[in-house]
Structure 1
């Protein structure tokens, strides 16, 4: 009988049996199930299985925490269940069946736009640089722009339009390709479809508003005798391209099922592509254009109304939580539509400021935890990353872990968003968030945006330090403060005994369950906390006596004057050091004083 055979059989039974499992895989510590009916899982009984340390549901997966032995448990589970495991990607794909419609939409948007981000970022930088060259009068050039004063930079500016146009004007090509790629259709058909939406034979989307209906009817239409179709391009348009891309995918899937394989190479592409192109120009394009215009008009109206400051403050504060949920991917499409309709966007400046605010909060944590070399390996790169527009390392690595920096960043971002909205700051392009985002801002808005950047740095930095010192939104980082109230947040006391205990180390406090040693993590040695030390000095947490000092000096036992026993254990498996690197300042039986 295997080590975990009984527990594996119990888990199989309580999870609803083999027939309830659509897919199963595992990661470093967890079994990851995709269940046909999540309601059949008896969480109470699963939680009673000795090997199981917890469970939760995320992104359509029912995850059961096993611990470091999960590979062994997984192999025995596969044997007793007769279910072959799948790859993590296959499990994620299967998990989509358990996502509600909003989650599925967000997932699809993320999968469409993520492959396009490198090009969009480069395009944003290029257009931002071109703004400086051609649109900013320079005092040291007698009020001329750089392109007006220099033939060389005028040529550079003209040359840079090539990649800028390729990225943004031909964005529909990237969208239709990405949809075909992600949904398993023929990628080259997606590319061809995108090209038909931005062909030079069509009236450029940017020129539509300046062209009368009579001109379009006379010069920009296909006349089929009994009906006409406008020859309108969809440069930089997002929704028409998405609608066309999805139609192509579903038509290809349909015809692959119904056309014999012997002739599928000829007829599947033909019957998939041509009807999609026709529908894109007759139905989907005009409808998508109107939908996109409506969305961008509503957003633009909200950010230019008399209540714009309120809208800006709320969006600025809530953008970071949107990143956590994945909803922020929707803003990319809205930004693109705003630029296509109005020539600029008032949403992107607030997104840039939110990135800056998250980085500033981490910078405050770096300052507060200075000397913690281990944490700096995560925190310092996170600051740089956030200030260059990628906030996930900052949020998930530092700010969400401590909570109070994340809230400080939200408040700072909200104030900064309110400010730039009040002064009607707009961006001419999208691309790199964070500090380089100023390159995308309209030249006349540089000063106001710079002030917004300053707000997004100073306010989160100051609030992070204040929240930590005052203990507001802060339960894990109370260095040097009384720890007793927090102990109940981590583990339920076995005895109702209160001890005023102060931090024995400078460092960061974590729940005991985060200890890497299961003996401590599971509370077998009693309640407690884990501290990541910032320096190698241990102080007495209360007045008392040294009851035990191990010969290896890696652990010390203390008894308070009120009789409470406490064990302080330094590191994991440090007994093997046999006392090396440790220096004791006390001996067994010595009295100690707090601090």
Structure 2
């Protein structure tokens, strides 16, 4: 009888039986099911299975958290069910049957823009800093002089000098920073067409070439089209027809239409052209028509569609009922993040900037980040005596104020519900105020408190109005969270199946999924020292961008954002398992702690390519033992996060865990775990 046969039989029954399973696979920590009818899964009964640590549904997959012994569980499940597993990629493909057309479209959009986010965020910071240098008039620097005359506005008020007006150094810095700023935003179509070919599994260099043809210097720059007379627009003369030579700098929809056209042309020709000549003719027959269609049909149509969308959004935010439009958007943006629909706003924001030079949508997104963080800090205040919750809520709140809201929402606010509602209301009020005051952003990608760097200080209420809006986004959610808790409003629902908070209940409920056991006289507590696995920055596990780790479904631990390829053991112990895909290693300590070292996030689908494991099952290890090498560039190129996560998976044995956050050097002590032996 297999170790998990009894639990596997129960799981098979509770997911609806063999006939309800379209596909099953597993990664380092969880079973991944594609169910024919997800409603047949008995989640309450599944939670009661001893080896199950939690569950959630994502992208059409029903995922059951088992732990680092999932491969053994999977083998037992396969034996009793008679179902052979599929690859993760096949599982994802089959999972689409549980998604409606809108969800599929949003998933595609997310997979296109997610690899571009690091560049967009950096570009937003750069443009925000340039805005500070060249856009902020400072009275203390004196009035601006033009041709020996003091400059004034049309109403006679003085125009003051900016930093670049008085400092040659900062003027040079400002000019230099335009280089990466232009590369990121003006040439955004190159990134989009590359990302589409990458996502669709076609030739990526062709996507890059196609993107370059949309922004070539030979074309009339998109920003100059509106100011150029029709007769002066250059064109290609084919004798029987003229085609305007117009660029699509910063345009989103034309690039997407062109990218998908290239992908489907390549997929059409590749199986139809003999392999001996496919290297020549597949690229030729795919790329040239895609370029032609992009400049004759798709580009002009896409430009009109994108412009139409941006004008509708802009008109709504500047209409007589703009207060209602902005209040609704500010309130519902956080729920959009849950559904994934927020990815659509990135494209709209980019188009607004392309058409108007600024966007009135992004300031409200930054305010939503701030509101979610404020609600988390209110929960921290209410539960200030709960040290366990502090470990989760403090880094989650800080992360949200820096623009990353998922840990705050999924780790705290959605768990209790009332802080999430409070944040929505506060975000709606702040967004309404911001839009009424005419606040607009020059760039996107910089959210939370740093979002003020992206605000145009010379339009509407500028920085002053946005500062007030930020204060609203902090104060209102904080107060409402406390009020809702005291009144017992919105706090009866528990999103992840833990103990619900009763109306008026003054008891603080721990956030962690795994409860910390009480130490009794019969328990001996052994302290295990924890070591840095790699050179890099230590972060709390709740900051990891994966709900299974962030919500501690697998157990408590820490993560390191690496700056080095050499990965060492976080504990002294014995290697119990090395996963076939090389991305995860199990270790058992002398005190009985089961430790999982997980290299990168969602890296199981890389099939071991970026990893070189240096140990095997049965090896004894210490903090001086190198477990593996991880090719950081390969992981990043695959669109995966490089976080190295260390988790103690038998959470029932953990009486306490402390870790020092910040910069760390591999093999050095960074914390300790109290283990019940």
What is the TM-score with the length of structure 1 in the denominator? 0.77
Q: What is the CA–CA distance in structure 2 between the aligned matches of 1:164 and 1:249, rounded to whole Å?
A: 28
Shift of 1:338: 0.5
Q: 1:469 & 1:114 partners in 2: Cα distance?
A: 39
RMSD over aligned Cα, in angstroms?
3.3
Distance of aligned partners of 1:7 and 1:327 in 2 relative to their CA distance in 1, 3 Å threshold: same
Aligned residue for 2:447, secondary structure, equals coil
CA distance in 2, matches of 1:55, 1:162: 46
Q: 1:247 aligned to 2:264?
A: no
Counterpart CA distance in 2 for 1:135 and 1:81 is: 66
Whether the aligned pair in 2 keeps the contact of 1:2 and 1:76 (CA below 8 Å) is: yes
Q: Which residue of 2 aligns with 1:212?
A: 229
Aligned partner (choices 187, 201, 214) of residue 197 of structure 1: 214
- CA deviations on 1:443-462 (whole Å, 9 max, x unpaired) are 13111111101101111111
Does the C-alpha gap of structure 1 residues 135 and 30 become closer, same or farther in structure 2, counting only changes over 3 Å? closer
Report SS of the residue matched to 2:489: coil
Identify which of 335, 340, 344 aligns with 2:349.
335
Structure 2 distance, partners of 1:63, 1:574, is 25
Report deviation, 1:371. 3.6
Contact 2:402 2:450 in 1 (8 A): yes
Residue 508 of structure 1 corresponds to 509
What CA deviation, in whole Å up to 9, does each residue of 1:354-402 have, x standing for no partner?
Answer: 0011111111122222242222222111122111111111111111111
**Number of aligned positions between the proteins:** 499
Residue 189 of structure 2 contacts residue 252 of structure 2 at CA under 8 Å; is this kept in 1? yes
The answer on whether the counterparts of 1:47 and 1:55 sit within 8 Å (CA) in structure 2 is: no
Which of 432, 437, 448 lines up with 2:465 in the alignment?
A: 448
Listed as ranges, the matches of 1:88-127 within 5 Å are 88=88, 90-127=90-127
Q: Partner residue of 2:475?
A: 458
Helix, strand or coil: the match of 2:509?
A: strand
Q: 1:508 to 1:104 in 2, by over 3 A?
A: same
Structure 2: gaps spanning 5 or more residues: 143-159, 518-650, 656-673
**Aligned pair in 2 of structure 1 residues 222, 501: CA closer, same or farther (>3 Å)?**
closer
Match of 1:38 in 2: 37
Would you tell me which structure has more strand in proportion to its own residues? Answer: 2
**CA distance in 2: counterparts of 1:386 and 1:424, whole angstroms:** 24
**Correspondence list, 1:389-428, <5 A:** 389-428=403-442
Contact 1:412/1:459 (<8 A) preserved:
yes
The answer to whether 1:372 aligns with 2:373 is: no
Q: Secondary structure at the match of 2:246?
A: coil
Listed one character per residue, the Cα deviations across residues 214-237 of structure 1 (whole Å, up to 9, x for unaligned) are 112xxx100000011110100000
55-64 or 315-324: bigger deviation = 55-64
Structure with greater helix percent: 1
Structure-2 change in CA distance of 1:64 and 1:451 (3 Å): closer
Give the distance between the partners of 1:48 and 1:136, measured in 2 at CA.
Answer: 58
Q: How does 1:10-409 map to 2 (within 5 A)?
A: 21-26=21-26, 31-35=31-35, 37-38=36-37, 43=41, 51=49, 58-63=58-63, 71-88=71-88, 90-142=90-142, 143-216=160-233, 220-409=234-423
Contact 1:55-1:62 within 8 A present in 2 as well: yes
Sort the Cα spacing of 1:573 and 1:137 in 2 relative to 1 into closer, same or farther, 3 A: closer
CA distance in 2, matches of 1:212, 1:357: 46
Q: 1:151 to 1:328 in 2, by over 3 A?
A: same
Q: Distance in 2 between matches of 1:120 and 1:30?
A: 32
Question: Offset at 1:92?
Answer: 2.8
Q: TM-score, normalised by structure 2?
A: 0.68
Structure 1 or 2, whichever has the larger Rg, is 1
CA–CA distance in structure 2, aligned partners of residues 352 and 440 of structure 1: 10
> How far apart, CA to CA, are the structure 2 residues paired with 1:120 and 1:353?
18
1:470–1:48: structure 2 CA closer, same or farther, 3 Å change rule? closer
The separation in 1 between residues aligned to 2:316 and 2:109, in whole angstroms, is: 23
CA contact (8 A) 1:38 1:62 kept: no
Map of 1:433 onto structure 2 = 447
Structure 1 position 516, deviation (Å)? 7.8
Change (3 A) 1:376 1:510: closer
Distance across 2 between alignment mates of 1:179 and 1:5? 43
